[in-house]
Structure 1
Amino acid sequence: MMKQIFILAMMLFATSGTAIAQDVALKTNLLGWATTSLNVGVEVGIAEKQTAQLFATINPWKFSRDRKVRFWNVEPEYRWWTCQRFGGSFFGLHALAGEYNIKNVDLPFGILPKTKRGRHYEGWYIGAGVTYGYQWLMSRHWNMEASLGVGYAYSPYKLYGRCARCLDKNHRNYVGPTKAALSMIYIF
């Protein structure tokens, strides 16, 4: 499903107009890689001080001691730049959606209630937030970006115990950090 969404977004960006220098950027979040999460993003200039970004992340791994934080996430974002696009400060509005399967890991910020060993959560989420970030020009084609977003997410979930027995169905209304990025960017 995520592959189809990404391909569709790429086709929309590709057909939205003629790409000229400083109009398209390919990026990856180094903080995501530090947590073993595969990620890639595409950002496209849509006006003199505006860009649109689509970012996708997936973490399919299991870890030692029966721990896992499996998830996928897509995050479209609109950005308004204070000076010029792809350089300096920007403010953004982002949406987020995804699914997760988390076992024997306590997440920060009270994202999910803590569980006893051997139990796990499965669920999905959808939300939105605001972003502030800054992009440093390193060379003609390379930039570095730092950004932080806060917002709201709604997440229905199921809590499973041993033997895959559903123990609880509930939901969370989360307010807090919704994104953090330190990204390497290649601008075409």
Structure 2
Amino acid sequence: MAKRLGIIWVLCFLMINQTLQAQEISISDKQYATPSFAIKSNLLYLATTSINLGGEFKVSPQYTLDLSINYNPWSFSNNKKFKHILIQPELRYWLSSPYSEHFFGFHTLYAHYNVGGVKLPFGIFPSLRNNRYQGNLYGAGLAYGYQWNLAKQWNLETSIGLGYVYMDYKRYSCQTCGDLIESSHSHYFGVTKAGISIIYLLK
């Protein structure tokens, strides 16, 4: 699966290269004025006590490359945990110009996780309430988002993504003990990202 993820990355950079070659050298004054870099934080992830930071780079007049890193090292009462480190790059196409209004994205993701004793919304993975899972996941998906300008250098972004995730895992019988039940893998189709992010634009 790691090889497949590598292939996706290569295709992603080929798309960027092709886009850059297809653009005319002359760029309008409006496009020159577009910020070339932004930093951001996802408020939804912060609500789950996950530390996160993202950066977004303009790579052409209508494309940006977004990269976010999320980290949760905490254990809670009754040894509940949502420990993980998640890396999620995304290539974005903007309908008008970068950091303004509608965009569509293609993202990949990798995470190492150690999760147990938690209840996820919408009935997702109900066995997490009485089991602990540890392993890795790999995935890819498509996203849609929108950005609003709040102030001179501040934006607000909402986004949602759907796609596929492959997970390998070890399942343990409870949150606190270490009795191994099985080593296996699973496939998931559904939401692969969601965000309400505050963004600071750098000129």
TM range (shorter): 0.7 to 0.9
TM-score (norm 1): 0.84
Distance in 1, Cα, partners of 2:136 & 2:124? 12
2:197 is aligned, of 177, 183, 188, to 183
Residue 98 of structure 1 aligns with an amino acid whose one-letter code is: A
Match in the other structure for 2:75: 62
Distance in 1, Cα, partners of 2:166 & 2:33? 39
Match in the other structure for 2:180: 166
- Matching of residues 1-188 of structure 1 within 5 Å: 22-108=35-121, 112=125, 114=127, 117=130, 119-161=131-173, 163-188=177-202
Q: CA deviation at 1:114?
A: 0.8
Greater mean deviation of Cα atoms: 42-51 or 63-72: 63-72
Distance in 1, Cα, partners of 2:56 & 2:136? 25
1:111, 1:174 within 8 Å by CA — same for their partners in 2? no
Residue 141 of structure 1 aligns with an amino acid whose one-letter code is: Q
Unmatched tracts of structure 1, length 5 or more: 1-18
Change (3 A) 1:110 1:156: farther
Q: CA deviation at 1:107?
A: 3.1
Distance in 1, Cα, partners of 2:58 & 2:181? 47
Q: CA deviation at 1:164?
A: 1.3
TM-score (norm 2): 0.78
Q: CA RMSD in A?
A: 1.8
Identical amino acids, percent of aligned pairs? 41
Three-state SS of the structure 2 residue aligned to 1:65 is: helix
Distance in 2, Cα, partners of 1:73 & 1:110? 22
Alignment deviations for residues 96-145 of structure 1 (CA, whole Å, 9 cap, x no partner): 0011111111334565451573x311011000000000000112211000
1:109, 1:176 within 8 Å by CA — same for their partners in 2? no
Distance in 1, Cα, partners of 2:140 & 2:90? 9
Alignment deviations for residues 147-167 of structure 1 (CA, whole Å, 9 cap, x no partner): 000100000111113541211
Q: Higher strand share goes to which structure?
A: 1
Unmatched tracts of structure 2, length 5 or more: 1-31
Three-state SS of the structure 1 residue aligned to 2:35 is: coil
Distance in 2, Cα, partners of 1:111 & 1:77? 24
Three-state SS of the structure 2 residue aligned to 1:47 is: coil
Q: Higher helix share goes to which structure?
A: 2
Three-state SS of the structure 1 residue aligned to 2:45 is: helix
